[in-house]
């Protein structure tokens, strides 16, 4: 980690303890500098449409516990947390989505339901992924916070950088926090179930193609407690098995 990103992280209030764990998820680009070039012109406004403020992905009135207002039902757009844009020329296009992988950030435990705290953490992770790892953008496509909000991260038109050598057609969904050291909030696990179900239906991904990071590569991610939640969700009668 270089000094610039270290300063950025410290300034973001995450602290030195988290810093040491920042690579915890162990994401992994694998495509750095070797991507098929996608010209900026290849990207159109419609590429961003998926997350454009359509309410209703939760599909029910009470689920999620998304925000204090209880009104948030859509994905929070990227523009609400960063003005940065991905280095599109340094990525590969997503192509057909065929699998979904769930992560934690593996940093310090995180229980805040504050939107601004989530924004600081998102930006710190993006900075580390870009400045230290040399990636085109934050590695994950979506991030779930402890309040159950779902944040848009890397555009789904671009391959992520979240499972080394395994980013092709792979949507990355990260839950903020460290699930070796904490348990997911009810709001976060409810949102994760609901949102991954929506992704499965939208992209035609069967439950057998929904993974956790450790099921593809040797890593602690997503932590034993989130691993357990995911195993339950995919087992017979679980939320994802029924999606
Ligand atoms: Zn991971």
Query: In terms of Cα–Cα distance, which of 13, 20, 176 is closest to 103?
Result: 176
Ligand 1 centroid distance, CA of 141 (Å): 12
- Reported as a pLDDT band with limits 50, 70 and 90, residue 25 is confident
Ligand 1 centroid distance, CA of 108 (Å): 14
- Least confident span in 10-14, 59-63, 91-95, 206-210: 59-63
CATH topology of domain 3-234: Lysozyme-like (3.40.80)
- Decide: helix, strand or coil at residue 131: helix
- Give the mean model confidence (pLDDT) for residues 22-34: 51
Helix (H) or strand (E) holding 220: none
How high does pLDDT run on average in the chain? 79
Ligand 1 centroid distance, CA of 219 (Å): 7
Q: Could you give the CA distance from residue 94 to residue 78 in angstroms, rounded to a whole number?
A: 18
Residue 240 in tokens: 């994802």
- Give the mean model confidence (pLDDT) for residues 164-189: 97
- Over 50: is that where the pLDDT of 215 sits? yes
pLDDT score, position 179: 98
Q: Which residues are CB-neighbours of 9 under 8 A, at least 6 positions away?
A: 18, 19, 22, 124, 127, 128
Residues with a beta carbon under 5 angstroms from ion ligand 1? 25, 103, 213, 221
Of 170 and 66, the one with more pLDDT: 170
Ligand 1 centroid distance, CA of 239 (Å): 21
pTM to 2 decimal places: 0.76
């Amino acid at each position: 980690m270089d000094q610039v990103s270290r300063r950025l992280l410290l300034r973001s209030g995450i602290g030195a303890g988290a810093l040491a764990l920042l690579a915890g998820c162990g994401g992994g680009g694998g495509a750095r500098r070797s991507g098929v070039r996608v010209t900026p012109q290849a990207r159109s406004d419609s590429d961003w449409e998926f997350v454009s403020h359509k309410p209703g992905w939760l599909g029910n009135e009470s689920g999620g516990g998304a925000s204090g207002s209880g009104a948030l039902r859509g994905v929070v757009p990227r523009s609400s947390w960063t003005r940065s844009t991905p280095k599109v020329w340094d990525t590969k296009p997503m192509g057909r989505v065929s699998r979904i992988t769930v992560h934690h950030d593996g940093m310090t435990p995180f229980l805040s339901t504050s939107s601004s705290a989530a924004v600081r953490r998102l930006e710190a992770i993006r900075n580390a992924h870009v400045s230290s790892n040399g990636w085109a953008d934050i590695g994950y496509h979506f991030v779930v916070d402890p309040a159950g909000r779902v944040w848009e991260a890397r555009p789904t038109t671009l391959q992520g950088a979240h499972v080394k050598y395994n980013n092709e057609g792979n949507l990355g969904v990260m839950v903020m926090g460290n699930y070796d050291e904490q348990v997911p909030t009810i709001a976060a696990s409810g949102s994760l179930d609901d949102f991954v179900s929506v992704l499965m239906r939208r992209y035609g991904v069967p439950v057998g193609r929904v993974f956790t990071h450790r099921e593809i590569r040797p890593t602690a991610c997503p932590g034993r407690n989130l691993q357990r939640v995911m195993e339950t969700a995919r087992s017979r009668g679980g939320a994802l098995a029924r999606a």
